[in-house]
Structure 1
Amino acid sequence: MQSNPIGVFDSGVGGTSIWKEIHKLLPLENTIYLADSANAPYGEKSTEEIIQLSVKNTELLLSYNCKLIVVACNTATTNAIKYLRNTYADVSFIGIEPAIKPAVLQSNSKTVGVLATKGTLSSSLFHSTVKSHAEGIKIIEKEGKGLVPLIEAGKASSKETKTLLKTFLAPMLAHNIDYLVLGCTHYPYLVPVLKELLPKHVNIIDSGEAVARQTKAVLTKNSLLNTLNNKSSHRFYTNADVPILKSFLTEVKSTINVVYLDF
């Protein structure tokens, strides 16, 4: 079991931002990544559709004997992870939630911006997280409509993306945010553009490192950390564009295998 892979899935390429953090912290672990780009974005689908897609991805990862599954998608976590945990009681799932708590704790202006998908912002889990951690803090929510398709198309730095971001950021800046929470695993790929558009005092925060630490903690608790091999293997499957997925992994030094799979 120790050498079995960690499974990771997302509604496309965005979850590679999470995968990189996991790989950096746990370089000996074997991994399998599913980029469900053919069905992106999840954020505009119904809860029932999101659950159905999450089950499909989970079943495929379990067929590859994954020892733990990371739901590297905010929308899938907020809408489907409870169902997954109830349905697959013997499987450990690591979810992604917007990093509201650390942003709130560190904010001096007491105003925090959240850029996320419709599916995340409208979920009960998101609202309960805000209610639990953001008392006395003004949360400026904005749906990043249109951003995921642009990132999926390899256009994270395009003029169209910058125009959208300016529109989404304007009301946040008008309320003097000092933290911007990225509530979608695709959005870390927008950080270079966001740094161009945001004042220097605005901090950008996402969930990647926290997810990697939680993954390690759960593996350690269950005695599943891989200490058996010196060279890890990494398989990436996409049901859309292989070159696009590869382009998000160019700086990864480990050997990776990116292939098309109809799932």
Structure 2
Amino acid sequence: MNTNAIGIFDSGVGGTSIWKEINALLPNENTIYLADSKNAPYGPKGKDAIINLSIKNTEYLLKQNCKLIIVACNTATTNAIDYLRANYSIPFIGIEPAIKPAALQTKTNTIGILATRGTLSSTLFSKTSTLFASNIKVIEQHGDGIVELIEGGKLFSDEMKTLLNQYLQPMIDANIDYLVLGCTHYPYLTPLLINILPNNVKIIDSGEAVARQTKTVLEKLNLINNSFKTIEHSFYINGNTEVLKSLVGTEFKVDYLDF
């Protein structure tokens, strides 16, 4: 079972930002990435629909004999991971906004969080924010339209730049010194964000922490792949294969899968 793949799913291509961190830290692990772009974004769909989509993605990855599943979607994590853990025996790694490090390190006592509506309205986000950020000012911003533009191959479009300027200006005015990215699509915005934000604002996401947690769980369960066989990375999407390929690299095969 150690040679079985790590399964990763997201409501689209954004979770590849997590896949890159996993591959960097655990280069000897096989991976299967599932992009549910047809249903992106998950945020507006409501808790029951998000759980059902997460079940569908999980069932597919289980059929591929994955040894661990990463829910590479903030909205799916906050709304569905408790259900998944209660109903499947496979280990799950979830994603949540990196509020804790931002709250602990802020010097201006003001941080910004850019996330989807589904994440910001979730119980888990509320608990985390209350636990770590109750004594600082938190500027929350729904990233409406961002996921759709990235899924549509318009990452660096004028429309995206206009949206980001609109969303970030209130944070800049409030003197944030940390911007927390609360969606796995959003790390791909970093080049644009750097051009908009003041130099003192640090951008933080969950990717490295998720990779470290994945390694910890694999080691604890003795599931690290120590084989010297060729490593395989499989990518599946029920949307535009070219968008996914542009993010993971043309050296990887990306297949369309109607799921």
Matched, 1:223 2:219: no
Q: Is the 8 A contact 2:30 2:233 kept in 1?
A: yes
Q: State the 1:173 CA deviation.
A: 1.0
Q: State the 1:135 CA deviation.
A: 2.4
Q: State the 1:235 CA deviation.
A: 0.3
Q: State the 1:43 CA deviation.
A: 1.1
Q: State the 1:136 CA deviation.
A: 1.0
State the partner residue of 1:78: 78
State the partner residue of 1:44: 44
| TM-score using structure 1 length | 0.97
| Equivalent-residue separation in structure 1 for 2:5 and 2:225 (angstroms) | 9
Deviations 1:8-32 (A, max 9, x none): 0000000000000000000000000
Match of 2:227, SS? Answer: coil
Deviations 1:47-97 (A, max 9, x none): 011000000000000000000000000000000000100011x11000000
Q: Is the 8 A contact 1:28 1:230 kept in 2?
A: no
Amino acid at match of 2:179: L
State the partner residue of 2:93: 94
Q: State the 1:230 CA deviation.
A: 4.6
State the partner residue of 2:254: 258
Consecutive unaligned residues in structure 1, runs of 5 or more: none
Q: Is the 8 A contact 1:111 1:138 kept in 2?
A: yes
Q: State the 1:256 CA deviation.
A: 2.7
Match of 2:248, SS? Answer: coil
| Equivalent-residue separation in structure 2 for 1:168 and 1:243 (angstroms) | 28
Match of 1:70, SS? Answer: strand
Matched, 1:245 2:220: no
State the partner residue of 1:16: 16
| Equivalent-residue separation in structure 2 for 1:23 and 1:32 (angstroms) | 11
Q: Give 1:92-241 correspondences, 5 Å limit.
A: 92-241=91-240
Q: Is the 8 A contact 1:233 1:256 kept in 2?
A: no
| TM-score using structure 2 length | 0.98
| Equivalent-residue separation in structure 2 for 1:207 and 1:71 (angstroms) | 12
Deviations 1:98-134 (A, max 9, x none): 0000001110001000000000000000000001111
Q: Give 1:22-33 correspondences, 5 Å limit.
A: 22-33=22-33
Consecutive unaligned residues in structure 2, runs of 5 or more: none
| Equivalent-residue separation in structure 1 for 2:218 and 2:17 (angstroms) | 20
Amino acid at match of 2:196: L
Q: Taking every aligned residue pair, what percent have the same amino acid on both sides?
A: 63
Number of aligned residue pairs:
259
| Equivalent-residue separation in structure 2 for 1:230 and 1:200 (angstroms) | 45
Q: State the 1:258 CA deviation.
A: 1.0
Q: State the 1:229 CA deviation.
A: 2.2
Q: State the 1:44 CA deviation.
A: 1.3
Q: Is the 8 A contact 2:2 2:224 kept in 1?
A: yes
Q: Is the 8 A contact 1:35 1:239 kept in 2?
A: yes
